[in-house]
């Protein structure tokens, strides 16, 4: 029998209560809705967040440098480049390198989904040229700027880093 002791080198666990509460932890995302970060993984370069949209809309065409997974909790959404529609209970896996344009499907006109982004993404214009770039650090900087405006501050953002 082997005795396994707790390691002093692990990060503390994270518990967040009702992350679906409609509070100031939700940052506006363009005109499409709001994003609620759950964790920033600075060691591996990814993040997990919830995307909530309450009406139809589109997120700019982009390419992921690493895989992405999505689990739809409510509503419906899809990618303009594909013929499938994600509905409540749907799971999506996107391999690295995929280019797509997320839209809120008019079928229900809203969506709520958890996205695990494993690495950076590149926003593209209609000609396929890079216009913007986002990684975990840029994402955290944007969220920190927002948090300061609503009184959450840097400690709140740091509590999401693992």
Find, among 90, 88, 91, 85, the residue nearest to 75 by Cα: 88
**Distance between CA 137 and CA 125 in Å, rounded?**
23
Residue 11 pLDDT = 83
Q: Per residue in 16-25, pLDDT tens?
A: 999 999 899 9
Write down the pLDDT at residue 10.
87
Domain 34-158: which CATH number of 3.40.50.360, 1.20.1070.10, 2.60.120.10, 3.40.1390.20:
2.60.120.10
Q: What percent of the chain has pLDDT over 70?
A: 100
Domain ranges of the chain: 34-158
Report how far apart the first and last C-alpha atoms of the chain are (Å, whole number).
Answer: 32
CA–CA dist 44, 26 (Å, integer): 23
In whole angstroms, what is the distance from residue 70 CA to residue 134 CA?
18
What's the pLDDT band for 31 if we cut at 50, 70, 90? confident
Q: What is the token pair recorded at 75? A: 């509503």
Q: Above 90 in pLDDT, residue 114? A: yes
């Amino acid at each position: 029998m082997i005795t396994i002791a707790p390691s002093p080198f692990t990060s503390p666990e994270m518990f967040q209560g009702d992350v679906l509460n409609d509070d100031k932890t939700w940052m506006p995302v363009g005109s499409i809705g709001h994003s609620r970060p759950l964790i920033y993984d600075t060691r591996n370069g990814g993040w997990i967040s919830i995307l909530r949209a309450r009406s139809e809309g589109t997120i700019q065409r982009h390419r992921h440098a690493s895989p992405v997974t999505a689990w739809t909790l409510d509503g419906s959404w899809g990618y303009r480049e594909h013929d499938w529609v994600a509905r409540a209970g749907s799971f999506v896996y996107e391999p690295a390198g995929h280019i797509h344009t997320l839209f809120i499907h008019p079928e229900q006109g809203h969506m709520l989904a958890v996205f695990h982004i494993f690495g950076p993404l590149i926003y593209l214009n209609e000609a396929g040229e890079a216009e913007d770039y986002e990684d975990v650090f840029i994402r955290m900087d944007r969220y920190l700027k927002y948090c300061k405006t609503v009184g959450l501050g840097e400690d709140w953002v740091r509590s999401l880093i693992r």
